[in-house]
Structure 1
């Protein structure tokens, strides 16, 4: 279609045309000229807000053109906008095409830009970017190539868009993009309207990719918004049930409150095939029908000629009866559709005005909060540097102060790690003795024994501890053999002390591993928490990593000091010494001794009653009336007790009894030593590594030295430290610009409440 003089011949929205068209315009509502002017002014305010980048902050109403592939959307776009679009077989629109039309008394002109919302990987950008694409166009015939080049730039996100303005065109890829082409058209005969043309819904593009889903998701992104009107395009060539766009429109607007339906290509079917379409057209006031030039005429027919041909078509059968009906005539033709969309969109904008104002106020509050967090210009850099260091130390003290009634997260996390450590050392890593014969070197660590007396309840490990290192199980005959092999000059009945010491030394090595684990856990908790504090205090100034390097080195030094203290304590424990023989030792030794003896195998045996037992039995039968004399009593008792009685005994040899004693003494000593070591280690870690961080000027002094707050040129170094980086300054300026734009839009919208 030639587009010379192809603009809509309207001096204003809703006004009569100067062409010889006999169509009657249609409006959703009738308003006075003053009201119409204000509504138009309101739309232009909204359009200026979009141009200023406010579209990502306001739910702005717009008309969304939705249709299946090859449904005639591109031809409809040309008929409404008066500018041509690129033509190709299959899908020619591969990104959203946003068109803003504005009536302006100046000469006709068009500006094309690219609006980026996602990056090359399809990830959402923090802010929408609007990039001008080429210079202003003064002829509609030049728009087609500019749009084609802009789409090429969008489909090649790794290249600079400006390189596509001139030069040879690249081969167009088969993909789709969420980034949009924005066309701003102004002219004295242009109607005020804004709409978005989406790629057609496709069933299958013949390639193994996700294009079908991507196009559908792109359409959903626009039509699911309650603020948008849906212009649903059907072509008359295929049944309505076969056009996928209908399914999406019904899903997101089931009551059709914001859907306007357009029939295209009525000239591509026989008159008898038009009957069902005409029935649907007549049944709804939101159905329109248009006729655009065919493929053979598109480059030779002007826009004005196309509109005249459209009138002639509807004056002929089978649409002549509809054309002769004044009410139905208002819904035939591209010009009537354009006027209707203009008025419907203005009504819709007025209806959504309160929601837009609420969006603006909410985003202005968010912007203010962001600006308050961004660093401002620093007047006294040395003072500000001192304040930052002092504020960080206050945050650090508040995080680990033990009298904080809120129970700081850091202290709680470290305490729980240390509690698990003490629980594990005292109650789960003890020497595993079993007072029964067993194979030499047997290791039952896969199935640990329930080797704790009932008198000493064992606290359960938390669910997070799933595996623990269990010491090797030592059987009674092994203990007996070790005692025998280790004997030197001990007196008979005694045994060497080295047996107990060897058992305890094996456990101490496991303590070493667990001490390293808990130290690393506590250090990691401290490190993570302090890093968050550093980021909170210094991120906006861009110096967080510099400060963190100092803090991390400081706590690493403390960790190494604590590790050496733990090692020294461990070496003392390996000597297995008990300077003060406390009563608890004898108490535990008795409990463990009885416990191990109760686990020994029972041996059946015969025994004769003792004299005391015989006398006791005599005393119990002396009053029996059936026994008349003492002689009979004695005879009866002796005869009754003469046979041996069946009984059960433990049956331990002296050597085995010594082994049981070794086991009991080792466990009693372990119980005392393990608690002593575990609690001592926990105290060292808790106080020397954690709590002492809140006291002393060491860290504060290191931070001041790193910043360089003294000596020559201290002010310059402090200014470099406290002044925000250029990126932060740009961010602050950008947010202030957005704040000014949104405030201006909100102020101007207030007149239309």
Structure 2
């Protein structure tokens, strides 16, 4: 929102001893309006306008448009004057009514560095002692502006006798804050912005023009800003860039310097007062301020208002305006309207301000909570506690947690994959001659009893396996004979077949170990981040990460060494004390192999035996197998089982090979189950559980916190990063501002 005003001359000072209030300090204003103005002024005092859009009046216009004179009529102080642009940084006036004697506190608000880059947190610097004499304000403001425009020099040096007017920069976003209080002062905040530079020829350069325009826009673009646009009548309306800049923000317009309108041109300005040209929501106003000569002669505020009234009452065409438009002339009418607009805006904005404050406070607290904890006063104790907490949590993970993504749950599929990989190395014995069955015989099917032990293994990868036919087994046995008696074969044959599959076990075992190591590293890294990432500048997290990774590497090396030893034990030669299981497996495999050969060599007998087995009860007419069993019984061979009938067949020349095959295959089952348990057990002992053993002492040694330099090391590790410290400081100051503003709202019952 904006209000446009036209003024007569440059700035005016009011040092009168009048008992009447100056401008908006007029005691005739309603108490409700004064309370709202006072509340917003107190909110401005907290500095919360950095975070929340607070209602404020911003006075803008082109150079020499009479802004300062207008401000003087409101604030009752004298502003610096100079040819061209005299305001080169914003000047914020925070007015508050008080029963105490009049005083003015001048502060510098630094919101950008010397290069113009915004600071995360504004800095407030007191600029001299409080002023109790109004006549001293102008000089203090002039010195404060020079301090802001010379950012590389100590601000305090400009309080001394500093006559050098040279400046390092031409304009600044840093601003002067005037905190004025006293019996004749209103509760109000407004800011005087640098005058917009019309062109390079009017005393600026392209950079200055753009900088001032951006500065003004940063204020007037806020929704709760009441834009007080001053337009000097001595210059063509269309040539005043401030009007074009504010059109989209709904300004409040004021025409200044009506006495400088060239004779005969007054009618060009009256359509604005009638709101017929460039219409505004609250109409255009016109004011006349004292001339430079009047100011030098010490004109009082009352005298200025009296002369202004005479001008509009006696000077044509202003005096001839319809009474309907007379209310848009004179400073007093402007001030009344400005006060009404501002108070109405405040009353509408306050409920929303409270909501925004609460939301911003909560958001700021949440952001603070996400920051690392501030440095501890006992870094040694805190680091020790962090290490113990980390190791305790790690032990829980290593022992197992009931979660789908727990370490042991993630490892288990890899262990099963390892078991299946070992199972897939079983020798593919085929109880048939190669010449007769090589075609289409990729592998001999496993017997049914293995399904109950190993589960469904039909999908095992056997692509690299070569079937071992029974005649090949016999050939190897015959080739190995030395001094054995006929029908006997050396045990080295079985050992050679056993070595062929045990030599394949190391690779899948090492793959499992590497997978467990990698998986463990992921879980441990995540745990380290949780426990140490918020401590200090991250050095502790980094050092713990390196130490734990090194320790895990040692444990992984120990696990691989143990795996290699277990594999070597298998490769040394077959050995088992599970004689019962070995014998049982051999019998089962031997029966399976022989049964397959018998079916192939004597299909009729095999079919008859199978049919007999499937018959629920012996047939009434003794035929086939029943007749044979009955005949044998009649000869005194009672107790003959149907399975014994195959013994009546002539000997199989491949019986030695069948025995070798059954031996090897039975031993594989015993050794495979042993290695399928021992390898995961070794990895669990040396690597998984091994990481938890002696880790805490290793961390203490590696960090050196128990050594002679332990205190120094812990202090260095506990140092907070400057960025985090700066962010925390910024958030704490913001929270302080917001909570202070919230308390102000509570005091008035909002």
TM-score by length of 2: 0.57
Is the counterpart of residue 5 in structure 1 residue 19 in structure 2?
Answer: no
Is the counterpart of residue 163 in structure 1 residue 157 in structure 2?
Answer: yes
Aligned to 1:40: 34
Cα 1:532–1:546, aligned 2, differ >3 Å: closer, same or farther?
closer
Aligned to 2:170: 175
Aligned to 1:600: none
1:314 to 312, 315, 334: 312
Aligned to 1:142: 136
Q: State the alpha-carbon separation in 1 of the partners of residues 25 and 383 from structure 2.
A: 66
Deviation of the 1:375 alpha carbon: 3.3
Is the counterpart of residue 263 in structure 1 residue 261 in structure 2?
Answer: no
Is the counterpart of residue 235 in structure 1 residue 210 in structure 2?
Answer: no
CA contact 1:388–1:537 (8 Å) conserved in 2: no
Deviation of the 1:695 alpha carbon: 4.1
2:355 to 340, 354, 358: 358
Aligned to 1:544: 538
Cα 1:723–1:212, aligned 2, differ >3 Å: closer, same or farther?
closer
Deviation of the 1:398 alpha carbon: 12
Q: How does 1:472-483 map to 2 (within 5 A)?
A: none
CA contact 1:10–1:190 (8 Å) conserved in 2: no
Aligned to 1:210: 207
Q: State the alpha-carbon separation in 1 of the partners of residues 34 and 396 from structure 2.
A: 58
Is the counterpart of residue 246 in structure 1 residue 256 in structure 2?
Answer: no
Q: Could you give the per-residue CA deviations for residues 114-155 of structure 1, whole angstroms, max 9, x where no partner exists?
A: 112222222222222222111111222211111111111112
Cα 1:221–1:732, aligned 2, differ >3 Å: closer, same or farther?
closer
Cα 1:381–1:536, aligned 2, differ >3 Å: closer, same or farther?
closer
Q: Could you give the per-residue CA deviations for residues 479-511 of structure 1, whole angstroms, max 9, x where no partner exists?
A: xxxxxxxxxxxxxxxxxxxxxxxxxxxxxxxxx
Q: State the alpha-carbon separation in 1 of the partners of residues 244 and 309 from structure 2.
A: 31
Cα 1:299–1:743, aligned 2, differ >3 Å: closer, same or farther?
same
Q: Could you give the per-residue CA deviations for residues 703-729 of structure 1, whole angstroms, max 9, x where no partner exists?
A: 444666658998998799769799589
CA contact 1:8–1:191 (8 Å) conserved in 2: no
Q: State the alpha-carbon separation in 1 of the partners of residues 207 and 367 from structure 2.
A: 38
SS at 1:297's partner residue?
helix
TM-score by length of 1: 0.56
Aligned to 1:417: none
Aligned to 2:54: 60
Q: How does 1:80-119 map to 2 (within 5 A)?
A: 80-119=74-113
Q: How does 1:304-703 map to 2 (within 5 A)?
A: 304=301, 305-321=303-319, 325-373=322-370, 375=373, 384-389=382-387, 536-538=533-535, 542=536, 544-552=538-546, 555=549, 695-696=691-692, 700-703=696-699
SS at 2:124's partner residue?
strand
Deviation of the 1:525 alpha carbon: 11
Q: Could you give the per-residue CA deviations for residues 454-501 of structure 1, whole angstroms, max 9, x where no partner exists?
A: xxxxxxxxxxxxxxxxxxxxxxxxxxxxxxxxxxxxxxxxxxxxxxxx
Aligned to 2:269: 277
Q: State the alpha-carbon separation in 2 of the partners of residues 356 and 733 from structure 1.
A: 20
Q: State the alpha-carbon separation in 2 of the partners of residues 290 and 533 from structure 1.
A: 67
Cα 1:13–1:82, aligned 2, differ >3 Å: closer, same or farther?
closer
Aligned to 1:127: 121
CA contact 1:233–1:264 (8 Å) conserved in 2: yes
Cα 1:399–1:242, aligned 2, differ >3 Å: closer, same or farther?
farther
Aligned to 2:740: 741
Deviation of the 1:243 alpha carbon: 1.3
Q: State the alpha-carbon separation in 2 of the partners of residues 407 and 212 from structure 1.
A: 64
CA contact 1:66–1:197 (8 Å) conserved in 2: yes
Cα 1:745–1:16, aligned 2, differ >3 Å: closer, same or farther?
closer
Q: Could you give the per-residue CA deviations for residues 144-198 of structure 1, whole angstroms, max 9, x where no partner exists?
A: 1111111111122233322222231441345211111111222322333321111
Unmatched 5+ residue regions in structure 2? 1-10, 411-518, 561-682
Aligned to 2:182: 187
Aligned to 1:506: none
Deviation of the 1:336 alpha carbon: 2.6
SS at 1:291's partner residue?
coil
2:287 to 268, 275, 290: 290
Cα 1:560–1:122, aligned 2, differ >3 Å: closer, same or farther?
farther
Cα 1:560–1:695, aligned 2, differ >3 Å: closer, same or farther?
closer
CA contact 2:25–2:187 (8 Å) conserved in 1: no
Aligned to 1:456: none
Deviation of the 1:357 alpha carbon: 0.5
Q: State the alpha-carbon separation in 2 of the partners of residues 398 and 68 from structure 1.
A: 72
Aligned to 1:595: none
SS at 2:252's partner residue?
strand
Q: State the alpha-carbon separation in 1 of the partners of residues 162 and 143 from structure 2.
A: 10
Cα 1:535–1:561, aligned 2, differ >3 Å: closer, same or farther?
closer
Aligned to 2:299: 302
Cα 1:37–1:698, aligned 2, differ >3 Å: closer, same or farther?
farther
SS at 2:194's partner residue?
coil
Query: Mean alpha-carbon deviation: is it higher for 223-232 or for 553-562?
Result: 553-562
Q: State the alpha-carbon separation in 1 of the partners of residues 393 and 324 from structure 2.
A: 74
Q: State the alpha-carbon separation in 1 of the partners of residues 87 and 53 from structure 2.
A: 24
Q: State the alpha-carbon separation in 1 of the partners of residues 33 and 244 from structure 2.
A: 33
Deviation of the 1:286 alpha carbon: 2.6
Deviation of the 1:228 alpha carbon: 0.9
Q: State the alpha-carbon separation in 2 of the partners of residues 245 and 732 from structure 1.
A: 36
CA contact 1:59–1:359 (8 Å) conserved in 2: no
Cα 1:717–1:225, aligned 2, differ >3 Å: closer, same or farther?
same
Query: Mean alpha-carbon deviation: is it higher for 54-63 or for 197-206?
Result: 197-206
Q: State the alpha-carbon separation in 2 of the partners of residues 693 and 8 from structure 1.
A: 89
Unmatched 5+ residue regions in structure 1? 18-24, 26-32, 412-521, 567-686
CA contact 1:7–1:189 (8 Å) conserved in 2: no
CA contact 1:13–1:342 (8 Å) conserved in 2: no
Aligned to 1:77: 71
Q: Could you give the per-residue CA deviations for residues 250-283 of structure 1, whole angstroms, max 9, x where no partner exists?
A: 12x2xx3xx2100011111124212121121122
Query: Mean alpha-carbon deviation: is it higher for 354-363 or for 181-190?
Result: 181-190
The Cα RMSD (Å) is: 5.2
CA contact 1:61–1:349 (8 Å) conserved in 2: yes
Cα 1:739–1:266, aligned 2, differ >3 Å: closer, same or farther?
closer
Cα 1:16–1:158, aligned 2, differ >3 Å: closer, same or farther?
closer
SS at 2:107's partner residue?
strand
Q: State the alpha-carbon separation in 2 of the partners of residues 58 and 354 from structure 1.
A: 13
Q: Could you give the per-residue CA deviations for residues 413-440 of structure 1, whole angstroms, max 9, x where no partner exists?
A: xxxxxxxxxxxxxxxxxxxxxxxxxxxx
Q: State the alpha-carbon separation in 2 of the partners of residues 56 and 406 from structure 1.
A: 46
CA contact 1:100–1:183 (8 Å) conserved in 2: yes
Cα 1:321–1:302, aligned 2, differ >3 Å: closer, same or farther?
closer
Deviation of the 1:110 alpha carbon: 1.2
